[in-house]
Amino acid sequence: MRLKKKGIERKEHLKDFEELYEKNYEALCAYVLKLSGNPALSKDIVQETFIGIWEKREDLRIKTSFKAYLYKACYHRFIEKMRASKKEADLLDTLKWETIYSIHSEGEMNKKRKLRIIKRAVDQLSPKCREAFLLSRYNGLKYAEIAETMNISVKTVELHISKALSRLRKSQLLLYW
């Protein structure tokens, strides 16, 4: 079957096409809805199928019934949409993971840089002050435990840690404590 018949004016082509559209539109939408489960997508696919047929009407040669051709064309258009949708979803998923990795990497780099700066500042503390600070912040010991470990009074531990924190604050390096 050909949509183009010799001797028929363009208006007659349009009229014939409109009749085919009106006759088949609802049934095709119902068919595609069963495939997609999405009413809006179904209407879009049927509409795009008819547009494609109209645009190719001059060269279109249909060897089966027109109705069978319409159903097959809608099915193929649905498959194309699903493939495109999957590609888009895969691309978005890849982009999402690349972004997460990038953010995580930047965070790790900043964290490492900050830790290096803190380590340098802690290394500049006096040995006793550094020891009290590290026992408190890295080992999680209480002041009394630090005093016992270092054989100094709790007040001296408080003084060392206070001094360490003060120096780190002055340097604006107190990031995690």
Question: Which has the higher per-residue pLDDT, 80 or 1?
Answer: 80
Residue 36 has a CB neighbour count (10 Å cut-off) of 16
CATH number for the domain whose boundaries are 124-177 = 1.10.10.10
- pLDDT mean over 108-113: 74
pLDDT the model gives residue 30: 94
- List the end-to-end C-alpha distance of the chain, in Å, as a whole number: 81
pLDDT at 6 over 50: no
Which long-range contacts (C-beta less than 8 Å, at least 24 apart) are formed by 15-19? 17/50, 17/53, 17/54, 17/57
Residue 47 has a CB neighbour count (10 Å cut-off) of 15
Q: 113-122, 126-135, 156-165: which range is least confident on average?
A: 113-122
pLDDT the model gives residue 148: 92
Ordered by start, the domain boundaries in the chain are 10-92, 124-177
Q: Name residue, tokens 């004016």.
A: 9
pLDDT in tens, 57-109: 888 788 888 888 999 999 999 999 888 888 888 777 777 787 777 776 777 77
Question: Quick one: which of 10, 8, 28 has its CA closest to 20?
Answer: 28
- pLDDT mean over 116-144: 87
Distance CA 61, CA 95 (A): 43
User: Could you check whether 10-92 and 124-177 share the same CATH topology?
Assistant: no
10-92 has CATH 1.10.1740.10 classification: yes
pLDDT in tens, 138-173: 888 999 999 999 999 989 998 998 888 888 777 664
> Is 13 within 8 Å of 3 (Cβ atoms)?
yes
Residue 4 has a CB neighbour count (10 Å cut-off) of 13
pLDDT at 29 over 80: yes
pLDDT the model gives residue 123: 86
Question: Quick one: which of 82, 81, 53 has its CA closest to 67?
Answer: 53
pLDDT the model gives residue 39: 92
Question: Which has the higher per-residue pLDDT, 117 or 7?
Answer: 117
